[in-house]
């Protein structure tokens, strides 16, 4: 039975939102709703307009009978700034201070609504960059990697400090922790990244950049290319970082048991000083 436009709009929205970066054909929708392709095209125009008006993302439409639509999520500057502001307020709470100058943020990294926004924001930077896989290192970067990968429509893989029997053969590298100067080791399952992949590194926190440096040498070991490095928060680091190009949503400084949180370099790098992402 032919499906009404209103019902089609609801279901198409759901269907496309669940499949970021995936081309869904007009033919598929026409069969699903027993409707003419011309009607489906009109529906897609409505989705596209609404997604744009609301800052949900771009609905890329591929014209012609063999065409279709692809949903590319992004976030607008204003919404990203609002989120960064909210995070600054929340992370500045005094009781988040931990001995050693760390800041408790596991609750935020376990909150689905925050992870969605962080994922959308970090994915926005790479929406046109053909990322093949997101790489993170256990443990706290995993939820972020999952969210970014979801919005980019690509898989993510987890590098581990302990080599696990459930990973099969692994490739491992040694690296020097940027802050403690200790030598550490990390391993990644051999079959998890194909050669010549474009790899986006995502992590929750970067201080000296040693871990990210280790991840970057792993990318080399897999004959792959680094697409970029994106972290939720960067810490204060006096020395020379081993990683120079990265984006961070937040910058966290601690001194005398006080926490000071400010915006990272993301907003100005991605949105510029006053330009607006179209």
Residue 248, H or E segment: strand 247-255
Among 155, 251, 265, 270, binds a second copy (CB under 8 A): 155
Among 31, 130, 168, 223, binds a second copy (CB under 8 A): 168
How many residues bind a second copy (CB under 8 A)? The answer is 58
Contact call for residue 205 and a second copy (CB under 8 A): yes
Among 116, 198, 241, 251, binds a second copy (CB under 8 A): 116
Where does residue 132 rank: exposed (0-12), middle (13-18), buried (19+ CB within 10 A)?
middle
Contact call for residue 7 and a second copy (CB under 8 A): yes
Distance between CA atoms of residues 175 and 150, nearest Å: 29
User: CA 121 → CA 159, 229, 248, 264, distances in Å?
Assistant: 23, 13, 11, 13
Minimal CA–CA distance to 218: which of 189, 255, 250, 182?
A: 189
**How does DSSP assign 124-177, residue by residue?**
HTTTTS---EEEEETTTTHHHHHHHHHHHT--EEEEBSS--GGG-SEEEEEEE-
Among 35, 125, 192, 211, binds a second copy (CB under 8 A): 192
**Smallest gap from residue 86 Cβ to a second copy (A):** 16
Contact call for residue 81 and a second copy (CB under 8 A): no
Of 144 and 173, which has the nearer Cβ to a second copy? 144
First to last CA, the chain: 39
Stretch that binds a second copy, among 80-88, 109-117, 209-217, 240-248 (CB under 8 A): 109-117
Minimal CA–CA distance to 29: which of 45, 52, 11, 51?
A: 11
Stretch that binds a second copy, among 23-31, 61-69, 159-167, 268-276 (CB under 8 A): 159-167
Among 63, 64, 112, 195, binds a second copy (CB under 8 A): 112
**Smallest gap from residue 89 Cβ to a second copy (A):** 18
> Which residues here bind a second copy, judged by CB under 8 A?
5-7, 9-11, 13-14, 17-19, 46-47, 49-51, 53-54, 56, 98-100, 102-107, 110-113, 115-116, 138-140, 142-143, 146, 149-150, 153-158, 160, 164-168, 189, 191-192, 205
């Amino acid at each position: 039975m032919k499906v009404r436009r209103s019902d089609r709009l609801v279901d198409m929205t759901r269907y496309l939102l669940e499949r970021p970066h995936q081309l869904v054909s007009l033919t598929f929708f026409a069969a699903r709703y027993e409707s003419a392709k011309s009607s489906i095209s009109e529906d897609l125009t409505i989705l596209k307009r609404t997604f744009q008006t609301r800052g949900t993302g771009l609905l890329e439409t591929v014209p012609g009978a063999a065409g279709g639509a692809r949903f590319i999520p992004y976030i607008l500057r204003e919404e990203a700034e609002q989120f960064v502001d909210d995070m600054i307020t929340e992370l500045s709470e005094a009781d988040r201070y931990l001995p050693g100058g760390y800041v408790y943020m596991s609750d935020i990294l376990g909150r689905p609504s925050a992870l969605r926004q962080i994922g959308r924001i970090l994915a926005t930077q790479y929406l046109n960059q053909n990322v093949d896989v997101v790489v993170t290192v256990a443990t706290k970067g995993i939820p972020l990697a999952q969210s970014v990968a979801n919005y980019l429509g690509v898989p993510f893989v987890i590098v581990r400090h302990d080599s696990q029997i459930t990973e099969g053969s692994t490739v491992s590298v040694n690296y020097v922790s940027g802050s403690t100067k200790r030598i550490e080791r990390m391993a990644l399952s051999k079959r998890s990244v194909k050669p010549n992949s474009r790899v986006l590194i995502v992590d929750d926190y970067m201080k000296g950049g040693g871990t990210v440096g280790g991840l970057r040498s792993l990318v080399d070991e897999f004959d792959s290319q680094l697409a970029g490095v994106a972290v939720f928060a960067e810490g204060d680091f006096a020395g020379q970082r081993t990683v120079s190009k990265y984006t961070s949503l937040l910058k966290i400084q601690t001194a005398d048991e006080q926490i000071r949180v400010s915006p990272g370099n993301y907003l100005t790098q991605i949105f510029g000083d006053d330009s607006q992402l179209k």
